[in-house]
């Protein structure tokens, strides 16, 4: 127990354990990944800020309902007692030297619905922007799901590659031993080494794919550095419906990008109504009151006045007519965009349902393929061990088994990725 090497060994073991714990990847499941992305991704934050800004536009437009009140301090000096403005104006205004304070109130009594329509249009655009936030959130969630299953697929392929290298290394060792015992030829050793080299190339590619997949996943989570995670497998989603019809109706009812377009159409209609109201009169009131700080015998010390103005548009070069027609045509264009979006969504959902259904069918086929390939490999290995089979037969069986393993792994995660895309297409990705 007095040997210092024992103490050094214990310290080394503890340090190795601490280092391994520090370097172990963080556990992550799909729901946690989605929550992290929604919280951190800059696209979601940008959409939220834009929605808040759109709400301020509504408040800006609604401000026309309230009076404008402003205070003034005015000082004036004249060159002489009888100075008047003689040029630059229609009327001649007497200039009195003075210093006064006061306030003015301006209030639009009615514009016969224009402000109401403008406010409704701004409110609808703000609601549309909130749906844009939901659409952005679903886009981010879709990218997270796709990259999450891509990372799982890359890890599964890497595991297959590692097992393939180990299995083919065992065959190389076996064939080399048989060759050294003069029971097999050098050709068998060469074939075995070629197969091993191919497996190592597969392993190198799989390792690179895993690193790239985690880089994509980190970016989808809103990180600017690559992280490695211990990903958890997700259960298979429920079975697909027999037809995509209900999914199409669901998408037309709840897709946030389509809801955005519909609200923009309503906003465009209200704006067109507001532009039409430009040709109506406007009734406004103005009031002013104040006090002179310096006394002037020609002016009273206090003043107050009020007036009501009725402005009736008569002629402005067809400006209001052109604005009304422009707004109406733009509203009709948005309506056509809504129709086009509905058609595209119906097509996309139907196509994605086919893709998901095809991916689901691949699950059973690749599972059967893998079972047959494993059985064929076992038979080929047994025949080779008994001296009844050639190395070419064994090599082909190994290749088939590796391909079947990779196809099975890819089919599983591609199906789950396709189901996430289908959920996005129907607006159900939350």
Position 414 in a domain: yes
Q: What percent of the chain has pLDDT over 70?
A: 92
Res. 7: pLDDT tops 70: no
Confidence (pLDDT) at 134: 96
- This prediction has a pTM of 0.83
Report pLDDT digits (tens) over 289-341: 998 888 677 778 888 999 999 999 999 999 999 999 999 999 999 999 999 99
Q: What are phi and psi of 70, to 5 degrees?
A: -145, 150
Report pLDDT digits (tens) over 24-65: 788 999 999 999 999 999 999 999 999 999 999 999 999 999
Say which range, 72-76, 282-286, 422-426, has the weakest mean pLDDT: 72-76
Residues ≥6 apart with Cβ < 8 Å to 216: 147, 150, 151
Confidence (pLDDT) at 94: 73
Position 9 in a domain: no
Position 164 in a domain: yes
From 164, 99, 227, select the one nearest 409 (Cα to Cα): 164
DSSP string of 336-393, one letter each residue: HHHHHHHHHHHHHHHHHHHHHHHHHHHHHHHHHHHHHHHHHHHHHHHHHHTT-S-HHH
Q: Residue 382 belongs to what domain range?
A: 27-64+110-279+316-425
Provide the token pair at 225: 């550095």
Position 255 in a domain: yes
**How would residue 89 be classed by pLDDT, with cut points 50, 70 and 90?**
low
Position 359 in a domain: yes
Domain count along the chain = 1
Q: How many CB atoms are closer than 10 A to CB 248?
A: 20
What distance separates the 2 farthest-apart alpha carbons in the chain?
Answer: 133
Report pLDDT digits (tens) over 122-141: 999 999 999 999 999 999 99
Position 399 in a domain: yes
Q: What is the Cα–Cα distance from 155 to 159, expressed in whole angstroms? A: 6
Res. 19: pLDDT tops 70: no
Res. 92: pLDDT tops 70: no
Confidence (pLDDT) at 360: 95
Task: Please count the helices (runs of H) and the strands (runs of E) in the chain.
Answer: 9, 6
**How would residue 93 be classed by pLDDT, with cut points 50, 70 and 90?**
low
How far is the CA of 383 from the CAs of 167, 324, 377, 393, 404, in angstroms?
17, 86, 10, 9, 21
Give the distance, in angstroms, between the CA of residue 292 and the centroid of all CA atoms in the same chain.
61
| pLDDT top residue among 20 and 78 | 78
Report pLDDT digits (tens) over 174-215: 889 888 888 788 888 888 899 899 999 999 999 999 999 999
What value does the mean pLDDT of the chain take? 89
With 0-12 CB in 10 A as exposed, 13-18 as middle and 19+ as buried, what is 178? middle
Position 196 in a domain: yes
Q: What is the CATH number of the domain that holds 214?
A: 1.20.1600.10
Confidence (pLDDT) at 90: 57
Say which range, 176-185, 270-279, 411-420, has the weakest mean pLDDT: 176-185
Per-residue buried b or exposed e for 196-223, using 16+ beta carbons within 10 Å of the residue's own CB: bebbeebbeebeebbeebbbbbbbbbbe
Position 19 in a domain: no
Q: For 389, what's the count of Cα atoms within 13 Å in the CB-facing half-sphere?
A: 19
């Amino acid at each position: 127990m007095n040997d210092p090497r024992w103490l050094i060994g214990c310290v080394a073991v503890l340090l190795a354990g601490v280092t391994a714990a520090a370097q172990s990847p963080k556990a992550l499941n799909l729901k946690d990944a989605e929550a992290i992305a929604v919280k951190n991704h800059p696209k979601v934050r940008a959409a939220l800020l834009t929605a808040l800004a759109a709400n301020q536009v509504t408040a800006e437009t609604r401000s026309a309902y309230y009076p404008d009140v402003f205070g003034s301090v005015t000082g004036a000096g004249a060159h002489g007692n009888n100075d008047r403005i003689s040029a630059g104006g229609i009327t001649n205004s007497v200039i009195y030297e003075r210093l006064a304070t006061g306030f003015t109130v301006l209030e639009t009594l009615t514009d016969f619905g224009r402000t109401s329509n403008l406010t409704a249009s701004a409110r609808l655009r703000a609601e549309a922007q909130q749906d844009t936030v939901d659409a952005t959130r679903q886009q981010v969630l879709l990218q997270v799901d796709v990259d999450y299953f891509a990372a799982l697929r890359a890890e599964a392929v890497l595991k297959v590659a590692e097992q393939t290298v180990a299995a083919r290394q065992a065959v190389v060792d076996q064939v080399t031993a048989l060759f050294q015992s003069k029971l097999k030829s050098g050709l068998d050793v060469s074939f075995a080494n070629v197969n091993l080299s191919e497996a190592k190339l597969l392993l190198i590619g799989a390792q690179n794919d895993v690193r790239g997949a985690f880089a994509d996943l980190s970016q989808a989570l809103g990180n600017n550095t690559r992280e490695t995670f211990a990903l958890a497998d997700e259960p298979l989603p429920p079975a697909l419906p027999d037809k995509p019809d209900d999914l199409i109706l669901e998408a037309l009812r709840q897709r946030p990008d389509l809801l955005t377009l519909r609200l923009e159409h309503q906003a465009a209609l209200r704006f067109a109504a507001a532009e039409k109201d430009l040709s109506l009169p406007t009734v406004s009131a103005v009031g002013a009151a104040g006090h002179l700080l310096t006394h002037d015998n020609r002016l009273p010390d206090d003043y107050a006045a009020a007036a009501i103005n009725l402005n009736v548009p008569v002629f402005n070069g067809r400006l209001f007519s052109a604005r009304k027609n422009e707004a109406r045509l733009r509203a009709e264009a948005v309506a056509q965009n809504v129709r086009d979006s509905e058609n595209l969504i119906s097509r996309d959902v139907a196509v994605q349902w086919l893709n998901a259904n095809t991916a689901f069918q691949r699950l059973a086929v690749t599972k059967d393929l893998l079972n047959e390939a494993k059985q064929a490999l076992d038979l080929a290995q047994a025949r080779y061990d008994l001296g009844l089979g050639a190395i070419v037969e064994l090599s082909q069986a190994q290749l088939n088994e590796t391909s079947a393993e990779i196809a099975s792994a890819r089919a599983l995660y591609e199906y789950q990725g396709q189901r996430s895309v289908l959920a996005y297409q129907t607006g159900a990705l939350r």
